[in-house]
């Protein structure tokens, strides 16, 4: 059986879609809670009821060790009490923690088929944070196990088998895994070994691992991220093309008395108030939650943590639908220095930015917000700047430069009448001169996203030197015979138009006609 992803909305490398697994469907991006088959602090059916959870993951190796015959007889869905999509991990994480498992690749492969897993993982060996030689061993062992699993069960059985990508920080090993799995015909891929990076707040390296995977894998096949950890990283992962991510953090943090927020984690004893409106936080005060019996406190904290994780995914999907995921990442980047560093890694990676631009829609439901120089790396801005540079005039008699306020506050006929009075009977091209996009031809000004962009005046001031320099280059390249600047009553900031006129006169070594609008 193979998985198929039907994409509905895209932004950056993120997509809202429907993952088809057999006759079942899961909306992506999807948070996949880890279910302990022995002890369920929050049963998966309760997750479905309260959070519309459509997919969970549980550990095939634990089922194999504790419930082998019963699991085969009843199936994994009855064992954990969930009729949605059930993904089973192979037990590879146990290899990372304990060094080995008491099962062969054959055992794990046949067992997952027998218990009816919807999505199954071959027995892999996670790389973790190790030296080069050990990393090579983990990749070779994983690839050997995967080849053996494909040989035994193929892609026509009960399960959707995924390709577990190992290699850790060694990008060539990650690439080796992906290329081998593409050859073997996998329809779903999983990126392993992020947990040690997440635990150590090495988010920048995790970003590099995801971008390497996507560059080799391409942008079509669905990608799952093992052990994604904290919701403050969900947006970054999704923006890089991760469609699903599992985590046990909701329970692990709750067991330690840690309360998840979208921007971080706080110990319960550090809270005077509960800054959340989930069912737990509206039922208890911080003091009351602390004073609960340990088992009840654990369960309620886990419920709250789950709520935050699912809410974060809903916010991400809404941002993708609106086309404002980049803005969400800008806000989220300030949640922690490590997240900020990871975000900077993304916006300084030209290859990733180019790929994002190719998959970001040309028009969107809402306009853009630009805040500072960081915002100028978003694909829509970069793409439009290139379009403006490629524009050619139909007339070079005169270039008339006006403020965006003259364009938005006046009727077009009134603006052109005023320009004609200044220019005379000759032809002319009108440019809007005070936008973060630089000198914009009026014929392009209402093309998305230029006139649909909201920005502070301080951004234009920060970009002043670049705007003036590129304006001179544009006017010189096209060879306009006359350059006219019309000052408006309310400038972008005091003295802007005169500074522009002086700069153009100095750079072009020619007279600039300067006049005031009525």
Residue 362 lies in a domain: no
Q: Residue 427: which CATH number? A: 3.40.50
Tell me which of 329, 351, 373 is where a domain ends.
351
Please tell me whether residues 61 and 145 are part of one structural domain. Answer: yes
Q: Rounded to an integer, what distance in angstroms lies between the CA atom of residue 258 and that of residue 269?
A: 9
> According to the model, what pLDDT value does residue 423 have?
75
Please tell me whether residues 321 and 428 are part of one structural domain. Answer: no
Residue 12 lies in a domain: no
Contact 169, 207 (CB under 8 A): no
Which of the residues are catalytic? 89
**Ranked by mean pLDDT, which of 90-94, 280-284, 391-395 comes out on top?**
280-284
Of the CA atoms within 13 Å of residue 316, those in its CB half-sphere come to: 34
> According to the model, what pLDDT value does residue 149 have?
93
Q: Rounded to an integer, what distance in angstroms lies between the CA atom of residue 242 and that of residue 260?
A: 22
Residue 228 lies in a domain: yes
Question: Confidence band (pLDDT; 50, 70, 90) for 98?
Answer: very low
Q: Is the peptide bond before 449 cis (omega within 30 degrees of 0)?
A: yes
Among 17-21, 103-107, 141-145, 499-503, whose mean pLDDT is lowest? Answer: 103-107
The torsion angles phi and psi of 11, rounded to 5 degrees, stand at -160, 135
Question: If we measure between CA atoms, which residue out of 61, 69, 135 comes closest to residue 100?
Answer: 61
Question: If we measure between CA atoms, which residue out of 443, 450, 514, 516 comes closest to residue 484?
Answer: 514
Residue 356 lies in a domain: no
Q: Rounded to an integer, what distance in angstroms lies between the CA atom of residue 480 and that of residue 510?
A: 11
What percentage of the chain has pLDDT greater than the value 90?
71
Q: What is the pLDDT of residues 323-335, one digit of tens each?
A: 999 999 999 999 9
The torsion angles phi and psi of 260, rounded to 5 degrees, stand at -80, 135
β-strands 14-21, 3-11: how paired? antiparallel
Q: Rounded to an integer, what distance in angstroms lies between the CA atom of residue 228 and that of residue 348?
A: 23
Query: What are the residues facing 14 on neighbouring strands?
Result: 11
Where does residue 300 rank: exposed (0-12), middle (13-18), buried (19+ CB within 10 A)?
buried
> According to the model, what pLDDT value does residue 100 have?
62
Q: Rounded to an integer, what distance in angstroms lies between the CA atom of residue 479 and that of residue 510?
A: 12
Please tell me whether residues 347 and 449 are part of one structural domain. Answer: no
Q: What is the pLDDT of residues 454-466, one digit of tens each?
A: 999 899 999 999 9
> According to the model, what pLDDT value does residue 95 have?
53
Please tell me whether residues 201 and 320 are part of one structural domain. Answer: yes
Average pLDDT for 396-419: 78
Please tell me whether residues 42 and 168 are part of one structural domain. Answer: yes
Average pLDDT for 67-77: 93
Please tell me whether residues 327 and 455 are part of one structural domain. Answer: no
Q: Rounded to an integer, what distance in angstroms lies between the CA atom of residue 237 and that of residue 101?
A: 30
CA dihedral 33, 34, 39, 41 (to 10 degrees): -30
Please tell me whether residues 432 and 284 are part of one structural domain. Answer: no
Average pLDDT for 292-297: 95
Please tell me whether residues 66 and 119 are part of one structural domain. Answer: yes
Question: If we measure between CA atoms, which residue out of 307, 232, 294, 240 comes closest to residue 263?
Answer: 232
Angle at 47 between CA 43 and CA 51, to 5 degrees: 170
Tell me which of 327, 351, 375 is where a domain ends.
351
> According to the model, what pLDDT value does residue 59 have?
92
Please tell me whether residues 144 and 239 are part of one structural domain. Answer: yes
Three-state DSSP state, 108: helix
Please tell me whether residues 211 and 314 are part of one structural domain. Answer: yes
Q: Rounded to an integer, what distance in angstroms lies between the CA atom of residue 58 and that of residue 38?
A: 10
Q: Rounded to an integer, what distance in angstroms lies between the CA atom of residue 287 and that of residue 291?
A: 6
Contact 171, 208 (CB under 8 A): yes
Number of domains within the chain: 2
Q: What is the pLDDT of residues 338-383, one digit of tens each?
A: 999 999 999 999 999 999 999 999 989 889 999 999 999 999 999 9
Q: Rounded to an integer, what distance in angstroms lies between the CA atom of residue 312 and that of residue 363?
A: 25
Question: If we measure between CA atoms, which residue out of 69, 67, 64 comes closest to residue 109?
Answer: 64
Return mean pLDDT, the chain.
Answer: 91
Contact 227, 195 (CB under 8 A): yes
Q: Is the pLDDT of residue 37 over 60?
A: yes
> According to the model, what pLDDT value does residue 99 have?
53
Average pLDDT for 466-493: 87
Residue 32 lies in a domain: yes
Residue 113 lies in a domain: yes
> According to the model, what pLDDT value does residue 424 have?
73
Which comes out higher in pLDDT, residue 492 or 60?
Answer: 60
Residue 9 lies in a domain: no
Q: Rounded to an integer, what distance in angstroms lies between the CA atom of residue 270 and that of residue 258?
A: 10
Q: Which domain holds residue 480?
A: 383-516
Three-state DSSP state, 44: helix
pTM of the model: 0.91
Tell me which of 300, 330, 351 is where a domain ends.
351
Q: Is the pLDDT of residue 112 over 50?
A: yes
Please tell me whether residues 209 and 263 are part of one structural domain. Answer: yes
Buried b (16+ CB within 10 A) or exposed e, 215-237: bbbebebbbbbbbbbbbbbbbbb
Long-range contacts from 350-355, C-beta under 8 angstroms, 24+ separation: 351/211, 351/215, 352/13, 352/211, 352/215, 352/240, 353/377, 353/379, 353/382, 355/13, 355/214, 355/215, 355/219
Q: Is the pLDDT of residue 55 over 50?
A: yes
Q: Rounded to an integer, what distance in angstroms lies between the CA atom of residue 336 and that of residue 334?
A: 6
Q: Which helix (H) or strand (E) holds 6?
A: strand 3-11
Question: If we measure between CA atoms, which residue out of 71, 38, 69, 43 comes closest to residue 56?
Answer: 43
Q: Residue 134: which CATH number? A: 3.20.20.105
Contact 167, 139 (CB under 8 A): yes
Please tell me whether residues 64 and 137 are part of one structural domain. Answer: yes
> According to the model, what pLDDT value does residue 294 have?
94
Q: Rounded to an integer, what distance in angstroms lies between the CA atom of residue 131 and that of residue 168?
A: 10
> According to the model, what pLDDT value does residue 488 have?
74
């Amino acid at each position: 059986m193979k998985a198929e992803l039907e994409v509905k909305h895209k932004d950056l490398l993120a997509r809202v879609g429907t993952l088809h697994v057999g006759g079942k469907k899961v909306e992506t991006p999807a948070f996949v809670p880890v279910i302990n088959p022995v002890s369920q602090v929050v049963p998966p059916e309760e997750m479905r009821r309260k959070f519309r959870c459509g997919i969970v993951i549980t550990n095939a190796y634990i089922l194999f060790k504790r419930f082998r015959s019963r699991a085969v007889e009843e199936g994994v869905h009855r064992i954990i009490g969930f009729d949605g999509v059930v993904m089973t991990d192979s037990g590879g994480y146990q290899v990372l923690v304990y060094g080995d498992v008491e099962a062969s690749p054959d055992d794990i492969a046949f067992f997952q088929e027998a218990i009816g897993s919807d999505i199954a993982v071959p027995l892999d060996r996670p790389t973790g944070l190790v030296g080069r030689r050990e990393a090579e061993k983990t990749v070779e062992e994983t690839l050997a196990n995967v080849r053996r699993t494909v040989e035994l069960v193929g892609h026509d059985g009960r399960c959707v088998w995924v390709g577990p990508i190992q290699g850790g920080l060694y990008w060539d090993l990650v690439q080796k895994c992906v290329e081998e799995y593409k050859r073997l015909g996998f329809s779903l891929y999983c990126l392993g070994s992020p947990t040690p990076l997440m635990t150590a707040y090495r988010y920048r390296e995790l970003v590099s691992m995801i971008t390497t995977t996507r560059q080799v894998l391409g942008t079509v096949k669905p990608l799952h991220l093992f052990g994604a950890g904290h919701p403050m990283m969900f947006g970054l992962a999704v923006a890089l093309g991760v469609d699903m991510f599992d985590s046990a953090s909701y329970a692990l943090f709750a067991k330690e008395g840690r309360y998840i927020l979208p921007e971080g984690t706080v110990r319960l004893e550090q809270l005077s108030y509960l800054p959340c409106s989930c069912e737990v936080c509206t039922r208890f005060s911080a003091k009351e939650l602390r004073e609960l019996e340990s088992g009840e406190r654990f369960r309620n904290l886990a419920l709250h943590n789950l709520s935050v994780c699912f809410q974060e995914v809903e916010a991400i999907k809404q941002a993708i639908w609106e086309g404002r995921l980049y803005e969400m990442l800008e806000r989220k980047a300030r949640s922690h220095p490590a997240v900020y560093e990871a975000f900077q890694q993304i916006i300084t990676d030209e290859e990733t930015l180019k790929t994002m631009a190719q998959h970001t829609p040309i028009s969107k439901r809402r306009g853009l917000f630009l805040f500072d120089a960081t915002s100028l790396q978003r694909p829509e801005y970069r793409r439009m700047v290139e379009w403006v540079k490629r524009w050619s005039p139909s007339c070079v008699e005169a270039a008339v430069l006006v403020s965006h306020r003259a364009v938005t506050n006046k009727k077009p006929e009134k603006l052109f009448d005023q320009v004609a009075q200044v220019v005379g009977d000759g032809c002319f091209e009108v440019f809007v001169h005070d936008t973060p996009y630089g000198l914009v031809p009026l014929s392009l000004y209402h093309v998305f996203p230029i006139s649909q962009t909201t920005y502070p005046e301080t951004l234009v001031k920060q970009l002043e030197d670049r705007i003036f320099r590129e304006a001179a280059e544009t006017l010189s390249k096209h060879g306009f015979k006359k350059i006219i600047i019309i000052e408006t009553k309310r400038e972008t900031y005091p003295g802007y138009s005169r500074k522009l006129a002086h700069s153009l006169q100095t750079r072009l070594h020619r007279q600039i006609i300067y006049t005031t609008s009525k």
